[in-house]
Amino acid sequence: MTPTTDPHLRADARRNRDRLLAAAHEAFQRHGVSASLDDVAKTAHVGIGTLYRHFPTRDDLIAALVTADLERVAALADELATHDDAEVLGRWLGELVDHTASYRGLAEAVLAAGGDPTTRFGGACERLHTAGARLVRREQQRGTVRTDVDPHDVLDLANAIAWATDNTTDALRRRRLLRINIDGLRATSGADPLADPASP
């Protein structure tokens, strides 16, 4: 997908890398991120060893395909933080969830990576996570998001919604699930409804 402009790479190695990425993108789109790596190598007309040379782990392959998109979504968070309308966070979460649901199993990979910065994929996830948390905190200061939620929780919920909807084509359903969560994030009475049986 992303044009790989890595310098200092032998011509054939570069061509193989690009072929692998194209083949992986197609395989992931069809069968999800746990698609057979053997098939990926075969489709790319490349030995399986070449695949492992370029991408030692499956996560490295995933990272190579989605990092650019993750950075884009992270940059969007920073940009939206300068806007003042009430639905900034909702719109950003929509973008995030749409992206995470692009490959089946991607949300699971994100959860597994945790944000472990020692891996390429985990590092990319963490950059996104940081930018998202910053946006959430700004909304909390503006008063559009209740202050008793942890910014991490918001991102985890978005990821969970991506997981629940990543093998459906029903984009409306994804929106509905997200809408419930966004409304739940609205600034409300800080009182615990469990402790206060009387509705306002």
For DNA, the binding residues (CB under 7 A) are 9-10, 12-13, 16, 34-38, 45-50, 52-54, 56-58
Q: What is the DSSP letter of 192?
A: -
Question: What torsion do the CA atoms of 64, 150, 86, 172 make, to the nearest 10 degrees?
Answer: 60
Closest-CA residue to 33 (of 102, 127, 80): 102
Q: Does 1 bind a copy of itself (CB under 8 A)?
A: no
Partner whose binding site includes residue 100, from a copy of itself, DNA, none (CB under 5 to 8 Å by kind): none
Answer for which of 23, 90, 113, 136 binds a copy of itself (CB under 8 A) is: 90
- Give the nearer residue to a copy of itself in terms of CB position, either 78 or 87: 87
Q: Does 194 bind a copy of itself (CB under 8 A)?
A: yes
Give the interface segment with a copy of itself, choosing from 10-18, 36-44, 55-63, 157-165 (CB under 8 A): 157-165
Partner whose binding site includes residue 163, from a copy of itself, DNA, none (CB under 5 to 8 Å by kind): a copy of itself
Instruction: Provide the token pair at 20.
Output: 């692998």
Partner whose binding site includes residue 10, from DNA, a copy of itself, none (CB under 5 to 8 Å by kind): DNA
Instruction: Provide the token pair at 68.
Output: 């650019």
Partner whose binding site includes residue 9, from a copy of itself, DNA, none (CB under 5 to 8 Å by kind): DNA
Contact 53, 13 (CB under 8 A): no
Q: Does 69 bind a copy of itself (CB under 8 A)?
A: no
Q: Does 153 bind a copy of itself (CB under 8 A)?
A: yes
Q: What is the DSSP letter of 145?
A: B
Cα 112–chain centre separation: 12
Q: Is the dihedral of CA 192, 196, 198, 200 positive or negative?
A: negative
Contact 176, 118 (CB under 8 A): no
